[in-house]
Amino acid sequence: MSVEVSKRFPSRFWAKVLSWPAAACLATVVVGFSALAAGQVMHAAYITRWPTCEKVVVLTFDDGPDPVSTPRTLEILKSRDVPAMFFVSGNRSATIPRINYRAYDEHHIVASHSRSHRNMRGFSADQQIEELYLGEADVVKQLGGDLTGRVRYLRAPAGRISPLALLRIWQDGGVYVAWSSAYDKRTFFEVAPQAERVLKYVESIRPGDVILMHDGSPHAEQTLEDLPLIIDALRDRGYTFVTLDDLRKP
């Protein structure tokens, strides 16, 4: 009999513990803690916009360096004393490394946009990490290996990154940078006159936006035409241009 009771005890115990209300409560706690932990990881390692009411924006440029449009972009930024973040591909950089160094030397942030800029759809987390870190190694090498103390910012081609890869980036102390305002998407195919196009874009900007532009794409010409007007119009509205390094300072 005692054997029978001891055999039945656990099933009764767990039946009570796992009764519907208790199970619901347990599930809520587990999901809550998981969400909290995931939220902390996401907040630390994945940035789409900076949570602020201050009128600050982060300019980011993808797909460079380009031998023509990147130097022109740098000239515009220099003439207006605007800092930016450049997400470059390792392979493109290898052919024109001096442009990355110039951007770095002019106090912009230069970071990895992968080595090959391949479409990473279907890549495993390990493959995504490998592409991003190889690109980072290329950039560090081109900048003289002098990135000590700098944050490891990363951005995948087309923004395709898996949760597991994000977790790995967070564990490695890196920051994945997405965006909250894609200038190109809004304006590539617009036929509106430039002033109207720029006004429409500028009015869409909100405090803390991370703006995505491209200095290394076939659409760079329009970006170069609009960039000075966008900078001036945002400044007229009280915006300040910063990098994530500026925002992350304690």
Q: Which residues bind Zn ion (CB under 5 A)?
A: 62-63, 157
Of 111 and 233, CB closest to Zn ion? 111
User: At closest approach, how far in Å is the CB of 63 from Zn ion?
Assistant: 4
Give the separation between CA 205 and CA 195, rounded to whole angstroms: 16
Min CB(113)–Zn ion separation in Å: 6
Residue number with CB closer to Zn ion (62 or 209): 62
Nearest CB to Zn ion, comparing residues 38 and 158:
158
- Select 90 or 157, whichever has its Cβ closest to Zn ion: 157
- Cβ of residue 11: shortest distance to Zn ion, in angstroms? 56
Tell the smallest beta-carbon distance from residue 155 to Zn ion (Å).
8
Task: Name the minimum Å distance from CB 51 to Zn ion.
Answer: 25
- CB burial of 35-72 (b: ≥16 within 10 Å; e: otherwise) equals eeeeeebbeebbbbbbeeeeebbbbbbbbbbbeebbbb
Give whichever of 157 and 174 is closer to Zn ion, judged by the CB atom: 157
Interacting residues of 185 by C-beta distance below 8 A, sequence separation 6+ = none
Is the CB of residue 66 less than 8 Å from the CB of residue 216?
A: yes
Pick the closer one to Zn ion by CB: 157 or 208.
Answer: 157
Q: How far is the CB of 197 from Zn ion (least distance, A)?
A: 22
> 63 near 216, Cβ under 8 Å?
yes
Q: What is the residue-wise DSSP string for 2-57? A: HHHHHHHHHHHHHHHHTSHHHHHHHHHHHHHHHHHHHHHHHHHHEESB---SS-EE
Contacts of 50 (CB under 8 A, 6+ apart): 56, 58, 208, 210, 244, 247
Separation CA 140–CA 98 (nearest Å): 13
